[in-house]
Structure 1
Amino acid sequence: MSQVKIYGVKEPLRAIRNRLSDVIHGCVVEALQFPINKRAHRFFYLEPDDFFMPEGRSENYVIIELMMMEGRTVETKKKLINLLFERISQQIGLSVNDIEICILESPAHNWGFRGKTGDEAAITYPINV
C-alpha cells in the first residue's frame, strides 16, 4: 500500500498535475513493483503566502510525501527516490532543487482498507522488495 501527497504553489502545481502524477506513478510501479491500477495521489494546492520554502527554491518547488507499509529495503527506497528526481527533472522540467521527497513508513497493522487491517488484507503485490 502506498499513498502519495504532493504539495506546491497552486498555479504552477495545477499546471503540471496530471503529468506529475503519471511520472510519480511510473516510478512507484517500477521501483516498488506496484500494480498499474493502484494510484492514490492527493494534491495540496497552496497560496504563495502559505508555503514557506527554503532559500534557493522557485515557485515550482514541490514536496512529495510517500506513505507506505514497512517492508521495502533501503535499496528499493533509494531507487524510488532517485527515479523520482531523474524523471521529474527530465519529463516535467523541474530542477532537482525544487523537488523534495520524504518516504514515511508504518507497520501493516496500522493500515485499514477494504474492511480489514493491512496485516490481514490480501495484498496482490510484493511489499518486501
Structure 2
Amino acid sequence: MPSTRVETRAGWIGDRHEALIAAIQNALVEGIRIPVEDRDIRINEYPAHAFAPPASKGPGYSIIEISMFTGRSVEAKRRLYAALVREFVAFGVPARDVKVVVHDVPRENWGLGGKSAVDIELGFAVEV
C-alpha cells in the first residue's frame, strides 16, 4: 500500500500522465510485489522557476518519493529502483536523472479508514 509522489519540471511528460502512472505502478508491482490494483500515485509538475535540480541534470529530472510499510528487503528495494529507472528511461529520462527516496513507515504510523494499518488485514505480504 505504498504512497508514491513524483516531482519534476513541467513540460516533458506532455499528454503521457496516464502512461507514466501505469509505468510507475508496473515498477512497484515488480519491485515490491504489491497487488496490481493497489495504486496511489501522484505526479506534481513545477514550472522551471519553482523546481531547481542539480545543474548536471536534464529537463526530465525526477524525484520519486515512496512511503511504504517497513519490512521490504534490500533486494526488493533494489528491484524497485531498477524497475523505476527502466520505466523512466522508456520515457526518455536518463537513468542519472531519476532519484528515488523510500520512506519506511511502521504500520502503526499509517492510518487507513480511521484504523491503524496494524489492525487491518492487508491481503498481501509486506516482507518480500
What's the TM-score bracket when you normalise by the shorter of the two chains?
over 0.9
- AA matched with 2:24: I
Identity of aligned residues (%): 24
> Any residues of structure 2 matched to 1:74-113 within 5 Å, and which?
74-89=74-89, 91-113=90-112
1:11 shift after superposition: 2.0
Q: Deviation per CA, 1:48-85: give whole Å up to 9, x if none.
A: 00111112111111111111010001111111001111
Structure 2: distance between partners of 1:64 and 1:16: 17
- Runs of at least 5 residues in structure 1 that lack an aligned partner in the other structure: none
| Contiguous gaps of at least 5 residues in structure 2 | none
Alpha carbons 1:14, 1:45 under 8 Å: kept:
no
Higher helix share: 1
Q: CA contact under 8 A between 2:70 and 2:104: conserved in structure 1? A: yes
Partner of residue 61, structure 2: 61
Report the counterpart of residue 41 of structure 2 in structure 1. Answer: 41
Q: TM-score, normalised by structure 1?
A: 0.92
Give the total of aligned pairs: 128
1:79-112 deviation line (CA, Å, top 9, x unaligned):
10011112321x2121112211111111000000
Matching residue's letter, 2:70: E
> RMSD value over aligned CA atoms?
1.3
1:34 Cα shift? 0.9
SS of residue matched to 1:11? coil
What is the TM-score of this pair, normalised by structure 2? 0.93
